[in-house]
Structure 1
Amino acid sequence: MGRLRRSRAHHARRDVHRASRTRVRTRDLDQIQHIDLDPKNRARLEAQPLDYELPGLGQHYCVECAKHYETDAALVSHWKSKVHKRRVKALKEPAYTIEEAERAAGLGRETKKATLSTDAQPIPPSSILSDAEMAT
């Protein structure tokens, strides 16, 4: 028996998957919190000038999700969706700072100093029982 010929079509599917991974990428939560949710920037983003390159000429924009929509009806239905509501809930939580991220990675300084208590007395070795003495 000879070796079966493999289908050589799987790489095309892989390339489409790789392209879609980066195509749908939106802005991160901390970028939206610090830049877009500022009242001045939010008003500017909601009232954008006509742009023929963007969907819906750039007139229907969700600030929280950083996405453009074709029609006003699509934007209103997006506001009612579970995806949008999750994003708004996530944006209500404060963003992590660089210091918090460094502390989580073990790189930052601790704010409290570890102090030894002067009241604690060490246990003398004679009072520690061995396993054999405890069994009897």
Structure 2
Amino acid sequence: MGNGPKQKKPGARSKIKKYKRACLTKNRSKDLDQIQDEVIAAKASGDVTLSTLSSVEFDDDLPGGGQFFCWETSRHFPDLKSLTDHKKTREYKRRVKQIKEEKYDPDWAAGLTKEKLPPAHGDKKK
């Protein structure tokens, strides 16, 4: 038998709060309202192609030098082929559909009250 550390069972980290939080926030993409605000700002400035949303300056730290950027999903790709393949995926199409929807306004629901329904089985007092 080896004297090294034992391997943990699959799912052993499922109850560790720090691990869960790190996994949730590590590769977080932009929220829909942030992307919608960028699109509105680009249209207001007169840029129809939305090229201001993608980084056109060469950056060695980013995949593909930052030249192939999908602004809908906020991801960088190493080459044009992988970007075009990404634009055919279900994830991309779903995100574009969500962005095109009307922007949610939290003030819309202000003042609405919860509806009080009668009891489901009536009063059974005897």
What is the TM-score of this pair, normalised by structure 1?
A: 0.59
Residue identity (%): 32
Residues 64-108 of structure 1: CA deviation (Å, up to 9, x unaligned): 1111111111100001111111111111111111312xx2xxxx2
Aligned with 1:53 (options 61, 67, 75): 61
The structure number with the bigger radius of gyration is 1
Query: Could you tell which deviates more after superposition, 25-34 or 41-50?
Result: 41-50
Give the equivalent residue in structure 2 for 1:84: 92
Residues 14-53 of structure 1 mapped to structure 2, 5 A cutoff:
18-36=21-39, 38-39=42-43, 40=47, 42-46=50-54, 48-53=56-61
Query: Do structure 1's residue 74 and structure 2's residue 75 form an aligned pair?
Result: no
Given residue 76 of structure 2, which amino acid in structure 1 is its aligned partner? Answer: H
Unmatched segments (≥5 aa) in structure 1:
1-6, 111-136
What is the TM-score of this pair, normalised by structure 2?
A: 0.64
From the two aligned structures, give the one with the greater helix fraction. 1
When residues 33 and 71 of structure 1 are mapped into structure 2, their CA distance, relative to the original with a 3 A threshold, is same
Give the equivalent residue in structure 1 for 2:118: none
The alignment's C-alpha RMSD in Å is 2.9
Number of aligned residue pairs: 98
